[in-house]
Structure 1
Amino acid sequence: MLEDQTLLLNQFFTLWAMLDPISHLPLFLGATADLTRQERRRAAVLAVIFSYAILLFFGIAGQHLLHAMGISLVSFQIAGGIILLLFSIAMVLGQPLSPKSPADDAGEGALGVAIYPLATPIIAGPGSMLAIIILTDNNRFTFAEQLDTFGVLAAVLGLLLVIFLLGDVIVRAIGPGGTNVMRRVMGVILAALSVNLILTALTGWLRLPPI
């Protein structure tokens, strides 16, 4: 386990806000509108599995790819923080975050919908990839801590899967207004975490006292 429980919670809320299961629920329901109930459940499971595989790859190899391209992690952290900040602003302002692409051909089946648009770009989008690379920084976290991060990622995706599977019930329970409120709250939290990422990178680069 991570010794710093605050860091563990920070990672959980960063991934929760980034993956944003509540606001992705309408996208999931729209993308699987032409599927049967059984196909919809299969698409949800496959999408989460594919998303975890994609984010796991970026968590393991992402920093090595940056090194091969000559990009410092500080630069990537600042760029990632800015992108996450823009993403969070879109969440707060209610702008569309991901393309809504319902399955035009019902014969495409659960597998096709699970890969696109559910796994990518709805779940494992560019912002999520940036977040997992930053949260598994080889210079800041040990191998055991990185394993904890992948465990946190699995937990968040597991909760996302539960929400997808209970999608119809949740939508009826909280209504469109509740979904919008949750989306904006997650946006505010993500904005604060994004600013913290940028300031942390700047303080390390400029050798300033920790914020």
Structure 2
Amino acid sequence: MLDDYTLFVTQVVTLWAVLDPVGHLPLFMSATGGLDEKQRRRAALFGVLFAFGVLVLFGLAGQALLRAMGVSLLSFQIAGGIILFLFAVSMVLGDHRTHKGDTAAESAMSIAVHPIAMPIIAGPGALLSMVLLMDNNRYSPWQQVVTVGALVAVLAAMLGTFLLGGLIQRVIGEGGTNMLRRVMGLILAALAVNMVLSAFALWLQLPSI
């Protein structure tokens, strides 16, 4: 039991560092800037649920799928970093679409899938972490269940943080939200570049950056 508890705590700490519920709040706020409070709660709930499904599915089958397709984890990391970089650039430059032509429900669900579920929550780093934490060659089914439990705990904390986004947005105002979106976009772009360079460094056996 102690080993299971230690594994659970270790997994929670690891996933908390990767998913960073508090750090992702500005990204969530910017993505849902065109929604009202009810729509924002809907987008938060379904975004977290969609991300949970993607992370668990990829954690279980991602490594086998990539191997079957002849794609290495480094190639996946580079591709994910490029996609994340493009999303970050749209945040910095203010390319923020609110899907005004859709109904309220469709708009919230669309934003819940992209960009909240992917790439904000289930981004390249999170997907790679789940592959490593649920490695079928190293961990038993019970240990994988513990990992899923740790993921549930972290995503529950993230959902609670997102649901407070409306209150925080009212405090800092629209100008503060726009500023946070651009600052977080710049940080996200740097993170994406770092992911790509780290993959190339491992591939070419260069010193870490």
Show the 5 A alignment for 1:14-93.
20-25=24-29, 27-28=31-32, 30-31=34-35, 33=36, 37=38, 41=41, 44-93=44-93
Alignment partner, residue 193 of structure 1? 191
8 Å Cα contact 1:58/1:133 also seen in 2:
yes
The alpha carbon displacement at 1:11 in A equals 1.9
8 Å Cα contact 1:88/1:190 also seen in 2:
yes
Q: Cα–Cα, structure 1 residues 124 and 95, in superposed 2: closer, same or farther, change >3 Å?
A: same
RMSD between aligned residues: 3.9
Alignment partner, residue 135 of structure 1? 129
8 Å Cα contact 1:55/1:129 also seen in 2:
no
8 Å Cα contact 2:89/2:185 also seen in 1:
yes
Alignment partner, residue 167 of structure 2? 169
8 Å Cα contact 1:58/1:129 also seen in 2:
no
The percent of aligned pairs where both chains have the same amino acid is: 41
Q: Cα–Cα, structure 1 residues 149 and 84, in superposed 2: closer, same or farther, change >3 Å?
A: farther
Q: Cα–Cα, structure 1 residues 185 and 158, in superposed 2: closer, same or farther, change >3 Å?
A: farther
8 Å Cα contact 2:59/2:127 also seen in 1:
yes
The alignment of Structure 1 onto Structure 2 pairs a total of residues equal to: 194
Q: What whole-Å deviation, never above 9, does each CA across 1:61-107 have from its counterpart, x for those lacking one?
A: 223221111111111111222222222222222222xx53369557x
Q: Name the CA distance, whole Å, in 2 between partners of 1:153 and 1:16.
A: 16
Alignment partner, residue 18 of structure 2? 11
Letter in structure 1 aligned against 2:169? V
The alpha carbon displacement at 1:47 in A equals 3.9
Q: Name the CA distance, whole Å, in 1 between partners of 2:90 and 2:110.
A: 19
8 Å Cα contact 1:59/1:132 also seen in 2:
no
Q: In the alignment, is residue 124 of structure 1 matched against residue 137 of structure 2?
A: no
Q: Name the CA distance, whole Å, in 1 between partners of 2:15 and 2:103.
A: 42
Q: Cα–Cα, structure 1 residues 146 and 71, in superposed 2: closer, same or farther, change >3 Å?
A: farther
Q: Which runs of 5+ in 1 are unaligned?
A: none
The alpha carbon displacement at 1:174 in A equals 0.6
TM-score, with normalisation over the residues of structure 1?
0.67
The alpha carbon displacement at 1:179 in A equals 0.9
Q: What whole-Å deviation, never above 9, does each CA across 1:93-132 have from its counterpart, x for those lacking one?
A: 2222xx53369557x6xxx666x21431231125634332
8 Å Cα contact 2:32/2:40 also seen in 1:
no
Q: Name the CA distance, whole Å, in 1 between partners of 2:200 and 2:55.
A: 26
The alpha carbon displacement at 1:25 in A equals 2.7
Alignment partner, residue 180 of structure 1? 178
The alpha carbon displacement at 1:151 in A equals 3.5
Q: Name the CA distance, whole Å, in 2 between partners of 1:26 and 1:75.
A: 29
Q: Name the CA distance, whole Å, in 2 between partners of 1:195 and 1:40.
A: 30
